[in-house]
Each structure stands twice: as structure tokens, then as C-alpha cells.
Amino acid sequence: MNTDSQPTAEGPVARPGAPDHSLDEVLLSVGRRVRHYRKLRGLTLQDLAVDTGLSASMLSTLERGQTGVSVATIHAVAQALDISITALFQASGPGDPVVRQADQRRDCTAGGAGRTLVLADPDMRIELYVYDFEPGTASANAPTTHNGMEYGINLEGVLTVEIDGRQFTLNPGDAVQYSTRSQHRMRNTTDAPSRAVWVNISRM
């Protein structure tokens, strides 16, 4: 009797040499996310190669989801893209819907504000951030532009939002929306901390 695929208490036994399609799917998913974040930041493969010290051909292999890419390579790419490595492995389908605080990437903006990437869905091109603005800090040193939309709500303190040279004051509970093709940034010009939630939806 052929027992190659007889079930056991732990499930069916895989046939020796059978392809691991689940690994292929993971690599394809990681590659799509790397490509998304690279384009979101306006980088070419050559730009990313310079930032990571990896070859453009290796990065192309990673983005195509092909095998032979090490975890160290993926980690170097995540650091260069300023995202957590877990963001590259987040499932886009059914699975654990919770992103634990320990897996959320916290960093500091060029303007000195604390920033936490709480959720990222590359397939939907959405990023959710929590900003902590100490007095005198901002989301950037100067107003910036990119391709997409941003939606924000101020939770604590007072926050100033600059949009194409106009300044808008947000008190707790106030919200704002704008095209990121406009020159924009957030600043805390008061002597008390402020805290806000921001959603970034990118467009290619």
C-alpha cells in the first residue's frame, strides 16, 4: 500500500521533495511589500542598492519573490526603507488581525517628533501613525510633498498644520485632511506636548 500521503494525528504527511508553496507565497508577498515601500519613498532599485550595500540584481530578485534571499538581506532592506521587518511579513489575508505594540516601529522624524508606525497595509497603500510632539518639534524640518492623501486627528495638546503656506490650529478632537501634493507638515509651537493620529494613503 502506498503511504506517501496517509494522514496521521498531526495531519497528512508531505511527500518528500514536494514544493513548499506556502514559502513561495510568503516570498511573493514580501517582494510586493518591498516594491511598495521603495516606490512610496521615491527610490529606484539603484538608490536602494546604495542605501543597503546590496546589488540591484539581488534587490530585483527579492522584489520578484524568488528564492535565495536571506533574512539578513530582508532586514537590511527594511532598515533602509525605515520600516520594521514585521511590516514586510504582515499577512494580507485572513490571520491574526492584531499588531502587538512590541512589533510596531518607533522612530524620530527629521523635525524631532516621535513617530510610531502602528499599522501598514501595503496592498491598500495605507499607513497609520501615532505622533508625539514635544514642544518645538515637527513632522519635518520643512514642508514636504509626495503623492497621496493624509488624514489626521489631534488627540492631546495643540497642533499646527501647515498646508501650502496656510496654518491651521488643531485643538483636541479636531481633524484635518489634505492632498500630500500640497506642501505640508505638522508642528507643535506651544510649551506643552501634543499627540496625534495620522493616516497616510499613498498613490502610485
User: Strand pairing of 114-121 and 148-156?
Assistant: unpaired
Mean pLDDT of all residues in 137-143: 95
The whole-number average pLDDT for the span 48-65 is: 91
pLDDT band for 30, please (50, 70, 90 cuts): confident
Provide the phi-psi class of 65: left if phi over 0, else alpha when psi is between -120 and 50, else beta: left
Residue 92, pLDDT > 70, answer no
The separation between the first and the last C-alpha atoms of the chain, rounded to the nearest angstrom, is 56
CA distance linking residue 140 with residue 108, whole number of Å: 10
Rounded Cα gap, residues 139 and 142, in angstroms: 8
Give the per-residue pLDDT at 80: 87
Give how far the C-alpha of residue 35 lies from the chain's centroid of Cα atoms, to the nearest Å.
12
Residues in the chain: 204
Q: What percent of the chain lies above the pLDDT cut of 90?
A: 47
What does the alpha-carbon distance between residue 32 and residue 134 come to, in Å, rounded to a whole number?
35
Would you state the pLDDT for residue 96?
60
Give phi and psi for 17, each to the nearest 5: 80, 0
Highest mean pLDDT among 1-10, 25-34, 38-47, 172-181: 172-181
Residue 8 has pLDDT above 50, yes or no: no
Position with higher pLDDT, 119 vs 176? 176
User: pLDDT value at position 22?
Assistant: 66
Separation CA 137–CA 84 (nearest Å): 23
Ordered by where they begin, the domains of the chain are 19-89 (1.10.260.40), 101-202 (2.60.120.10)
Provide the mean pLDDT of the chain: 83
* Dihedral angle of Cα 89, 95, 98, 102, to the nearest 10 degrees: -40
Query: Helices (DSSP H) in the chain: which residue ranges?
Result: 21-40, 45-52, 56-63, 71-80, 85-89
125: pLDDT confidence band, cut at 50, 70 and 90? confident
Residue 154 is predicted with a pLDDT of 98
| DSSP-derived secondary structure for 66-116 | -S---HHHHHHHHHHTTS-HHHHH--SSSS-----GGGSEEEE-TTB-EEE
The mean pLDDT of 163-187, rounded to a whole number, is 97
Q: Please state the pTM of the whole predicted model.
A: 0.60
The pLDDT confidence band at residue 27, using thresholds 50, 70 and 90, is confident
Across 20-26, average pLDDT = 65
| Residue 194 Cα distances to 113, 131, 162, 166, angstroms | 10, 8, 16, 20
At residue 60, does pLDDT exceed 80? yes
